[in-house]
Amino acid sequence: MSSVDLNSKIPNNVGLADDPKLQRALEKWLPNYLEWWHDMGPTDFEDKPVFLRTAISVERGGWANYDYVKMPDYRWGIFLAPNEGEPTIKCGDDAGTPAWLDVPGEHRNALRRIIVTQADTEPASVEQQRLLGHIAPSLYDLRNLFQVNVEEGRHLWAMVYLLHKYFGRDGRDEADELLQRRSGDADKPRILGAFNQPCDHWLSFFAFTMFTDRDGKYQLAALAESGFDPLARSTQFMLTEEAHHLFVGDTGIQRIIKRSAELQALDPNGDVRAQGGIDFELIQRTINYWYTYSLDLFGGEISSNASSFFASGLKGRFHEHRFEDHRAIEGEYRLPVVEGGKLVEKDVALRNAMNEVLRDAYVADCERVIARWNKTLETAGSPTRLSLPSRRFHRHQGIYAGHAFDPQGNLISAEEYEANRSRWLLVPEDNEYLLSIMKPCYEPGKFANWIAPPTKGIEGRPVEFEYVKLHD
Ligand code: BYC
Ligand code: FE
Ligand code: FE
């Protein structure tokens, strides 16, 4: 395990200084990355000091440093989690045998594809969020947005390191292309669906960090079980940063719910919008929208890709060590499929259902958060309850795509679906309303009317701390 080198151009614990060729290649990529950040990262705040966390080590206790940093000066580093004992392949045909310290020729293409797909989401999310700083509900939230953004940038670095180090010329080309695709671009879109959807306002930002970053948690956890050891250790460390992103989304929506319940109680007709707040129907539509796009990110329910990734030990299940049988050759997974215009139960080979197994863990995690949000509503005396729609609703990938379902998961006609779209999903009129109430609120300790303050600040600082210095 190399020690941490914080003073070189690219902070790292991967011994870059001992590999001058790799170091040069990454130092050549660095200005292109900075140019991308300047063009596609958060607009207009480049000269403002932000109270940011920077990864400086992989020690559990003290891995991060907090200080004011201007975003373009952020120290994006490359860190691998330390190995505990001899790493082994965690799943599939070769479970229990030594892990690969280099890329096995037969898995080169599959690994490259997985790494590129993971990498692509990181800059995509920064692009999606680039304008949100202009309408932040507080300096506290503004800081959290920028924290998420710089860390997604570091996640890109983590994957680009793997591409440069282990995939030669192809890897360098892929790394260049990661800076060329653009979220939502008609000609050069990002790879996965959710990362091409607009994220125009803070309700979408919080839903995105709640639901889409949470897909990130589960995908990273599955890759943390990879038999390709550098990928496993890289994603393990990314997960330490990911927790904050999920916190931002979970508590962001929870604070909106709390405020909406207050406004509901305040209004003589219980009308949240009349008080300038975000009504619960709109919150539910936003949940429906981002949760289902995030479900798509797990891929098809029945997937030969997933089967071969698992079989070859490239990608495990969530917490693979908790399973008894790491080969999963036997066993079936039962799921509803559409046949002859009806839903019928069908058994598929377990390995082919690995995307669905991972999605199950994700859905259960989302359910736990929804239950907490409903507790908030209960405590506030509101009769409203929020819920997750069926995993068949509003899907664009997998066996339910191409069929129409209502949020309860019943097969319905395309006409019925279209007629209810604006009741079930975030639509352009919603965005108009949200943008009309989202004005920047940049006074330390002050919060926009549509959201409650957090219960505490960041890293022991008070809520009214000046998290972003907008004035010298
Ligand atoms: N959109 O066998 P199938 C994060 C494609 S988020 C568009 O069903 P597979 C983050 C698929 O590529 C975590 N296309 O799926 C969060 C395939 O294409 P080809 C990101 C899709 O391969 C917030 C075809 O459909 N990490 O970190 O088993 C902020 C059939 O594929 C989609 C990863 O994704 C979609 N949603 O599984 C910042 C991990 N879904 O081959 C960051 C790496 C599927 O026919 N990726 N397709 O051209 C993977 O492990 C897999 O690629 C997937 C798909 C799980 C995504
Ligand atoms: Fe990330
Ligand atoms: Fe994230």
Sole residue written with tokens 């259902």 = 353
Domain locations along the chain: 16-437
* Mean of pLDDT values over 246-275: 97
For the chain, the average pLDDT equals 97
* Mean of pLDDT values over 421-439: 97
Q: What is the pLDDT of residue 2?
A: 66
Atom 20 of ligand 1, residue of closest alpha carbon: 118
Q: What is the pLDDT of residues 283-312, one digit of tens each?
A: 999 999 999 999 999 999 999 999 999 999
Q: What is the pTM of this model?
A: 0.98
* Mean of pLDDT values over 216-231: 98
Task: Report how far ligand 2's centroid is from the alpha carbon of 345 (Å).
Answer: 35
CA distances from 350 to 69, 326, 333, 400 (A): 48, 11, 5, 19
Alpha carbon distance, N-terminus to C-terminus of the chain = 42
CATH code of the region 16-437: 1.10.620.20
Q: Give residues (CB < 6 A) around ligand 1.
A: 114, 117-118, 121-122, 125, 152, 192-193, 212-213, 215-216, 219, 296-300, 303, 305-306, 315, 355, 397
Over pLDDT 70: what percentage of the chain? Answer: 100
Nearest ligand 1 atom to alpha carbon 114: 43
CB atoms near residue 401 (< 10 Å): 12
Atom 50 of ligand 1, residue of closest alpha carbon: 114
Q: What is the pLDDT of residues 43-59, one digit of tens each?
A: 999 999 999 999 998 88
Atom 36 of ligand 1, residue of closest alpha carbon: 297
Task: Report which bound ligand comes closest to the CA of 189.
Answer: 1
Q: What is the pLDDT of residue 3?
A: 84
Looking at residue 88, what DSSP letter applies? B
pLDDT at 355 over 70: yes
pLDDT at 1 over 70: no
* Mean of pLDDT values over 201-216: 98
CA distances from 265 to 137, 270, 277, 371, 377 (A): 22, 6, 12, 21, 11
Task: Report how far ligand 1's centroid is from the alpha carbon of 458 (Å).
Answer: 33
Atom 21 of ligand 1, residue of closest alpha carbon: 192
Task: Report how far ligand 3's centroid is from the alpha carbon of 347 (Å).
Answer: 34
